[in-house]
């Protein structure tokens, strides 16, 4: 398992800081603490953030398609709230630049805790902004091996969490949906790095218990004090395809205004924050 992820020198020198190890004062964290910290590290570091993303979609025959987009994220954190404890509502904005057939396409998510997320997709060729149904969140994200739900994250309250194993390097968690009829998987297993709380490997099992999807962090760097995945892959173990994500120009705490996460900005993108 130690070879699963390549940590940069900068990340390796800041593991304890990035993990917030002081929260546990040397004691082994509970399952709930592991889940909360992993969710925070994956989706909530900084009050907001941006990144340029190169997505390479490869099919089982090795044919590739490349998409490039910028993703913006803003937390709904209340003033004075402790950063490390916050895993609440969020807003995401994804703006596509390349290739030409997806240029100006935009995807937006309002992530909620107590109800289904609100999701919109803007299709410039039709000048159409449409809502994405909650039932579609586990379908392909713009033709890739990632699902819409993978982009903004799955609510931790939807699953039961069980610590299967603790190794020298990883917490191994099994996550089972509380409503098995609402999803296509029976469970998913996470290998969570003990120092950074980054999910290095996530394996999804189908209703028969066979692995059919696997997400893997390939590179981690420390950016503004945050351990950050800058290269990852999602593999379709049934069809044989995979999608690679490479992140660049990653920034945290840039002061994104809340109003850019509204429908009017699907048609009129906030270019100041997309450069």
Q: Tokens 């950050």 label which residue? A: 228
Q: Is the pLDDT of residue 15 over 50?
A: no
Mean pLDDT of 186-194: 98
What tokens appear for 155 in the block? 């609510």
27 Cβ neighbours under 8 A, 6+ residues apart = none
Sorted by where each begins, the domain ranges of the chain are: 6-273
Q: Is the pLDDT of residue 203 over 90?
A: yes
Per-residue model confidence as pLDDT tens digits over 230-250: 999 999 999 999 999 999 999
Is the model more confident about 155 or about 59? 59
Tell me, what's the pLDDT at 147? 93
Q: Is the pLDDT of residue 254 over 90?
A: yes
Tell me, what's the pLDDT at 22? 40
User: What is this structure's pTM?
Assistant: 0.86
CA-to-CA distance for 94 and 53, rounded, in angstroms?
10
Mean pLDDT of 36-53: 93
Per-residue model confidence as pLDDT tens digits over 139-156: 999 999 999 889 888 889
DSSP string over 68-127? EEEEEEEE-PPTT--GGG----EEEEEEEEESGGGTT-EEEEEE-SSSPPEEEEEETTTT
158 pLDDT band, cuts 50/70/90, is very high
Tell me, what's the pLDDT at 24? 43
Tell me, what's the pLDDT at 85? 56
Is the model more confident about 272 or about 23? 272
Q: Does the domain made of 6-273 have the CATH classification 2.50.20.10?
A: yes
CA-to-CA distance for 55 and 266, rounded, in angstroms?
21
- The Cβ of residue 106 has, within 10 Å, a number of other Cβ atoms equal to 23
Least-confidence region, from 5-14, 163-172, 219-228: 5-14
Tell me, what's the pLDDT at 26? 58
Per-residue model confidence as pLDDT tens digits over 80-122: 445 555 567 899 999 999 999 999 999 999 988 778 889 999 9
What length is written for the chain? 275
The percent of residues above 70 in pLDDT, for the chain, comes to 87
Tell me, what's the pLDDT at 67? 96
Tell me, what's the pLDDT at 8? 45
């Amino acid at each position: 398992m130690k070879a699963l992820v390549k940590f940069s020198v900068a990340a390796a020198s800041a593991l304890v800081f990035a993990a917030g190890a002081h929260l546990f004062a040397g004691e082994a964290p509970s399952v709930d603490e592991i889940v909360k910290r992993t969710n925070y590290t994956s989706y909530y570091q900084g009050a907001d953030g941006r990144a340029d993303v190169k997505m390479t979609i490869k099919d089982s025959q090795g044919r590739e398609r490349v998409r490039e987009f910028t993703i913006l994220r803003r937390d709904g954190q209340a003033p004075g709230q402790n950063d490390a404890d916050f895993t609440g509502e969020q807003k995401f904005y994804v703006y596509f630049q390349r290739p030409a057939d997806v240029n100006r396409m935009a995807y937006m998510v309002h992530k909620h805790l107590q109800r289904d997320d609100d999701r919109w997709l803007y299709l410039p060729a039709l000048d159409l902004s449409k809502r994405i149904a909650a039932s579609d969140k586990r379908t392909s994200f713009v033709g890739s091996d990632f699902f819409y739900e993978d982009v903004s994250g799955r609510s931790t309250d939807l699953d039961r969490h069980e610590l299967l194993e603790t190794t020298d390097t990883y917490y191994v968690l099994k996550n089972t949906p509380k409503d098995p009829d609402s999803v296509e998987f029976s469970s998913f297993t996470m290998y969570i790095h003990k120092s950074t709380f980054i999910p290095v490997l996530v394996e999804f099992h189908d209703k028969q218990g066979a692995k059919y999807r696997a997400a893997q962090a390939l590179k981690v760097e420390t950016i503004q004090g945050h351990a950050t995945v800058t290269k990852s892959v999602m593999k379709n173990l049934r069809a044989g395809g995979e999608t690679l994500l490479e992140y660049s120009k990653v920034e945290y705490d840039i002061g994104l205004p809340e109003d850019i996460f509204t429908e009017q900005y699907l048609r009129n993108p906030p270019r100041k924050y997309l450069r």
